[in-house]
Amino acid sequence: MTNGTVLSSRVRLARNYEDLPFDTGKKPEEAATCISRTANALALSGLGDGFQLIRLNTLTDTQRKALAESRLISKDLLREPETAAVLLRHEDAVSVMINEEDHLRIQAVRPGLDLLGAASACFRVDDALSRQVAFAFDKQLGYLTACPTNTGTGMRASLLMHLPMLTVCKQMGNVGQIVAKVGLTIRGVYGEGNEALGNLYQVSNQVTLGRTEQELISAVTAVGHQLKDMEAVLREKTFTTSRVTLEDTIFRAWGLMKFARIMPLKEFFKHWSGVRLGAELGLLPVSLETVDALLEQCQDANLQAQAETTLSGILLDAKRALTIRKALK
Amino acid sequence: MLCEECKVNEATYTLSVMMGDEVKTRHLCGECMAKMNMTLNSGNIKNLLSSILSAITGNDTPAEKQQEVVCPRCRTTLSQFTKSGHLGCPGCYEAFHEQLQPMLLQIHGRVQHAGRQPLATEDAQRARSRQEQLTRLMEQAVALEDFETAAQLRDQLRALAAKEAQA
């Protein structure tokens, strides 16, 4: 019953060059130094194969946003597209963002619950770079970052989780408290403010200083397991006490996703969660991979990038509905 | 007692911030407390940082009269940092050490790094092997009682060590 509650695991490391000011995104000259230094260092290290250097100003606005929707780059990297760049290895979703809040953000994403896998991919890049270049590091404070909330390991380890039952049963407040007690934080991934569209949450470490990377990863992993178990218990309970209601929600979502001709983004997220739950419970004839892929394909910029034209309003929502129907055939 | 923030209304709240073993206390009226709460709850880290800092330092002295701390490397001022929540360069950590230490403790609960360190760069490795080579040559020279060469090698070693200390 618990299969697939964790969609993906992500680790990112913040790194800065000792001799450059922090906000290189706003300083074209230093930004250029940052890009060439990083690209050269990676090439010299022998790890450069497979990495592609993409300067964000060579992409269209839609292409940039599509990269962020796919979580290969952060939304923050889009703030200064003229000076930002990314070294991207598509095959296993490893990226080195350049001129973000910090000079470098080394990031790796792995499917399912695999923070260790994501972390070791980041560490390989970190080690390769640190043999070539000097990062700002202090024996007492660790890696020095632009914002004191990242000082120390500079590491943020996060899990993307689908928690529909905890949400429906109004348990997310409790969950927030449990998570905060162990120095972690949980928030909705999509939507404004406190919204959590698609019942998708990101749980990650809040603290970065004074604990080793392994300790932080263990803490996030442990909480990931705990939330997975809490969600499973509620699913089990709902399945026995109000099975018809649960099935109705899932099959209504399935019906709308399979047949609707116009699908606004918010409505998509709502039904996506129903279909995801149905797939997790083995009630619907669709794989988790197909459902998860929709999450990326059906967001605005990805739809537009695919259509190779700017769509808006009803045209965009119709394109979304079509994409869903094709995938769920 | 008047509110320490607006200095108009009667203070009805006490705000305490734990900093290590020390507790800093401020007295605020309902209005100012609500503002502070809003900043704390908005989830905006920039506001959170500046509210922590202003709660700690208080606003008793007008900003222009406060002694401004400036980072000698990038010229970022302490008030710029508290406003934006972002430091200007790695050198700011040393320049604002006194203010940063309690802030880091507040955020992370600890101020001693544990975990990974950068590997020695190839330059540093090359320097180390050069150092080893010079030391070997010096020892050989001493063994051969060629003190002039040994002294030259010793000076080279010192220069190398000084250069490394600077880096």
Q: What is the mean pLDDT of chain B?
A: 77
Q: Which fold would CATH assign to domain B1-60?
A: Wheat Germ Agglutinin (Isolectin 2); domain 1 (3.30.60)
CB B75 within 8 Å of CB B88: yes
**Alpha carbon distance B9, A217 (integer Å):** 48
From chain B, the residues in CB contact with A207 under 8 A are 107-110
The domain boundary residue, chosen from A200, A234, A268: A234
The percentage of residues in chain B with a pLDDT greater than 90, rounded to a whole number, is 28
For residue B33, what pLDDT is reported?
72
For residue B167, what pLDDT is reported?
57
**Alpha carbon distance A34, A27 (integer Å):** 10
Q: What is the model's pTM?
A: 0.78
Residue-number span of the structural domain to which A277 is assigned: 242-327
For residue A164, what pLDDT is reported?
95
Whether residue A132 is found in the same domain as residue A174: yes
Per-residue pLDDT of chain A (329 residues), as tens digits, is 345 899 999 999 999 999 999 999 899 999 999 999 999 999 988 888 899 999 999 999 999 999 999 999 999 999 999 999 999 999 899 999 999 999 999 999 999 999 999 999 999 999 999 988 999 999 999 999 999 999 999 999 999 999 999 999 999 988 999 899 888 999 999 988 788 999 999 999 999 999 999 999 999 999 999 999 999 999 999 989 999 999 999 999 999 999 999 999 999 999 999 999 999 999 999 999 999 999 999 999 999 988 877 888 899 999 999 999 999 98
Whether residue A224 is found in the same domain as residue A265: no
Task: Verify whether the Cβ–Cβ distance A148 to B110 is below 8 Å.
Answer: no
CB B39 within 8 Å of CB B82: no
Domain boundaries, chain B: 1-60, 62-113, 122-166
Task: Verify whether the Cβ–Cβ distance B119 to A127 is below 8 Å.
Answer: yes
**Which residues numbered 132-151 in A keep a CB inside 8 Å of some CB on B?**
132-144, 146-149, 151
The domain boundary residue, chosen from A234, A269, A291: A234
Instruction: Give the tokens for residue B113.
Output: 């790094």
Residue A258 lies in a domain: yes
Residue A203 lies in a domain: yes
For residue A319, what pLDDT is reported?
95
Residue A1 lies in a domain: no
Neighbours of B1 (CB within 10 A): 9
Number of domain units in chain A = 2
**Alpha carbon distance A10, A138 (integer Å):** 26
For residue B11, what pLDDT is reported?
76
**Alpha carbon distance A85, A78 (integer Å):** 10
Position B53 confidence tier, pLDDT thresholds 50, 70, 90: low
The domain boundary residue, chosen from A179, A209, A234: A234
Q: What is the CATH number of the domain that holds A48?
A: 3.30.590.10
For residue B45, what pLDDT is reported?
56
A283 Cβ neighbours under 8 A, 6+ residues apart? A247, A250, A251
Whether residue A191 is found in the same domain as residue A270: no
Reference B167, options B127, B109, B116; nearest CA is B127
Mutate to test the interface with A, among B101, B104, B105, B166 (most CBs of A within 10 A): B104
Residue A208 lies in a domain: yes
Whether residue A254 is found in the same domain as residue A126: no
Whether residue A135 is found in the same domain as residue A208: yes
